[in-house]
Chains A and B, each alone.
Chain A
């Protein structure tokens, strides 16, 4: 079965117009450039895990510095993860169009869960936040949960 896009005079004309630029460039790249290039590797930097903030003594600024740098890197990784999951949902919605609310429900749920968890961990900290602020946020959340129950069930009054 022939390709429905190729046995068409107009398409052939458009392709040949495109090829006036594409063919010389492709020929140059395949015949001249690629054989002359050398094969050599580059790597992504791999960072060793260091003790986190909950394992540091309070009067140890070096441990705090390393934990902070690691936290910054982990936050960037988490941002990229949330972005990727969101992009998957968006691609599905773009492809499905009108059927998106029905067909992309799993991807939507995964993306929204990731966003929620990201906000629980990193949300509402300022732009100058460090790892100690994040740790204290967790501590305050646990205290609040101890006093009032799980988050989302409302505050209890004095009774």
Chain B
């Protein structure tokens, strides 16, 4: 009997101990119990995300595409009638593409013509700037026009000396 009572003293703390077996119950003061189990966070999160991407995205999109193809259907390829200029969205087969082209896309012909206009404008500006450059160069060479390089000179003697020396320098060393 004493052996058993000693065991009872030892088993007291063991009852409160928490081991790592599943369904181990920790006996606390209240009658309610907490089941200690491994975490189900990742599994629940996976189900949540799967549900979101299917019900929120995949199923509505697939249903929309399916209903469009069943109710409206793709277009049939045909010859352009005489003297008829098709709308931009009549160049595409699928009704969804046609919808996007009609409402959200730029007009291909318009973009082409805009590009040509930009090229023409840039070339126009370039030609004007080339002319300007040429005129400036000639005015610098000849010094016969008052626009760019005119400074009213008082010391003519000095100017003549400088011009003569510059010409001699240019003769000795051809301008690069």
Please list the residues of chain A having a beta carbon within 8 angstroms of any beta carbon in chain B: 32-33, 36-46, 59, 61-62, 65-66, 69
The answer to whether B75 and A62 touch across the interface, beta carbons within 8 angstroms, is: no
Closest residue of chain A to B98 (Cβ to Cβ) is A42
B90 contact from A42, A46, A65, Cβ within 8 A:
A42
Question: B8 interface residue, CB < 8 Å from A?
Answer: no
Contact across chains for A65 and B119 when beta carbons are under 8 A apart: yes
When distances are taken between beta carbons in the complex, the residues of chain B under 8 Å from A40 are 75-76
Residues from chain A with a CB closer than 8 A to the CB of B86 are 43
Contact B70 A43 (CB under 8 A): no
Closest Cβ of chain A to B108, distance in Å, is 8
With A and B bound together, what is the CA distance between A5 and B98 in angstroms? 45
Would you call B77 an interface residue if the criterion is a C-beta within 8 Å of the partner chain's C-beta atoms? yes
B47-96 CB contacts (< 8 Å) to partner A = 69-73, 75-80, 86, 90-93
Q: How far does the alpha carbon of A61 sit from the alpha carbon of B78 in the complex, in Å?
A: 36
**Which B residues touch A42, using CB under 8 A?**
75-78, 90-93, 98
User: Number of residues in B with C-beta < 8 Å to the partner?
Assistant: 23
A44 x B115 contact (CB < 8 A):
no
Q: When A and B form their complex, what is the total count of cross-chain residue pairs whose Cβ atoms lie within 8 Å?
A: 55
- B69, B119, B123, most chain A CB atoms within 10 A: B119
Chain B residues near A (Cβ < 8 Å): 69-73, 75-80, 86, 90-93, 98, 112, 115-116, 119-120, 123
| Bound CA span A66–B92, Å | 24
> 30 interchain pairs (CB within 8 A)?
A32-B70, A33-B69, A33-B70, A33-B73, A36-B73, A37-B70, A37-B73, A38-B72, A38-B73, A39-B76, A40-B75, A40-B76, A41-B76, A41-B90, A42-B76, A42-B92, A42-B93, A43-B78, A43-B79, A43-B86, A44-B77, A45-B91, A61-B119, A61-B123, A62-B120, A62-B123, A65-B115, A65-B116, A65-B119, A66-B116
Of the residues A33, A37, A41, A46, contact of B78 by C-beta under 8 Å: A41
